[in-house]
Amino acid sequence: MKIDLTGKTALVTGASRGIGEAIARRLAETGAHVLCAARSAERVNQLAAEIGNATGVELDITAPDVRERIGALLKERPIDILVNNAGVTDDDLFIRMKPEAWTKVLSTNLDSAFHITQEIVKKMLRARWGRVINISSVVGLMGNPGQVNYASSKAALIGFTKSLALEIGSRNITVNAVAPGYISTTMTDALGDEARQKLTERIAVRRLGTPDDIAHAVVFLASEEASYITGTVLNVSGGLYT
């Protein structure tokens, strides 16, 4: 199935590396113009130049003026597809978790999605077309020791997704979430062979996921072929969680 998003504009937050970068690249391959957003202007400008059909956007999603920055982008062009991908972790056992770690993770992973999405959805409602795709996590579904703040933020993002989908579905706007499992990153690459083997044994398909595994799911949900799918959580974890 060849997905064609020519003429659409997509904003991907956290696009400087990993899953966000893969999503930006795959969306550009469909013909969409991609706004690659991240704090590092140098990296997103480099990525946009590599992709070709893209623009680098320096954006701190936790900044007090994030709504104004999104408004400025919307004056330049409509945003048809929003991928709320940027996020952080600050892990610790609950009993030792500092309030600042809780606030930082919830602010970045959840509050920013509220501020950015609300601004963009206002325009989508007028256009009567849109795709909002939130990158949650499998730990938002199953929990994980040492990640009470992160799991809470990702579980809340699922509630956000389902509720917003019910509110705006009649305007031809879909809202879905993708819940990645263990994805191969520089962090998992640093694991020893034994730790990596134990991790892999927990996954039904016996491998870690790749950023492209998540990107392909996002591209599908952004397409017209997924127009009857909304309020759902696409679990892309290789069977880690079923």
DSSP structure string for 162-227: HHHHHHHGGGTEEEEEEEE-SB--HHHHTS-HHHHHHHHHTSTTSS-B-HHHHHHHHHHHHSGGGT
Question: What integer is the mean pLDDT of 101-129?
Answer: 98
Structure tokens at 216: 């392909």
- Is position 150 annotated as part of the catalytic site? yes
For residue 133, CA distances in Å to 99, 189, 190, 204, 229 come to 29, 27, 30, 25, 11
Provide the terminal-to-terminal Cα distance of the chain, rounded to the nearest Å. Answer: 26
| Catalytic residue (choose from 150, 182, 228, 241) | 150
pLDDT confidence tier of residue 196, bands split at 50, 70 and 90: confident
Topology classification of domain 9-236: Rossmann fold (3.40.50)
Question: What integer is the mean pLDDT of 99-110?
Answer: 98
Query: In degrees to the nearest 10, what's the CA dihedral of 91, 110, 63, 19?
Result: 70
pLDDT tens string 24-74: 999 999 999 999 999 999 999 999 999 999 999 999 999 999 999 999 999
- pLDDT given at position 124: 98
Question: What integer is the mean pLDDT of 97-113?
Answer: 98
Alpha-carbon distance 192 to 46, whole Å?
A: 32
pTM of the predicted protein model: 0.96
Task: Report the phi/psi class of residue 9: left, alpha or beta, with left for phi > 0 and alpha for psi in -120 to 50.
Answer: beta
Provide the 3-class DSSP secondary structure of residue 65. coil
What's the mean pLDDT when you consider all of the chain?
Answer: 95
- pLDDT given at position 187: 57
Q: 110 exposed, middle or buried (CB, 10 Å; 0-12, 13-18, 19+)?
A: buried
SS3 per residue for 95-147: HHCCHHHHHHHHHHHHHHHHHHHHHHHHHHHHHCCEEEEEECCCHHHHCCCCC
Question: Directed axis angle between helix 148-168 and helix 112-127, to 10°?
Answer: 20
- pLDDT given at position 103: 98
Percent of the chain at pLDDT above 70? 98
Domain locations along the chain: 9-236
pLDDT confidence tier of residue 129, bands split at 50, 70 and 90: very high
Question: What integer is the mean pLDDT of 131-138?
Answer: 97
Structure tokens at 2: 């060849």
pLDDT tens string 135-166: 999 999 999 999 999 999 999 999 999 999 99
Q: Which amino acid is at 210?
A: T
- pLDDT given at position 186: 62
Provide CB contacts within 8 A for 126, sequence distance 6+: none
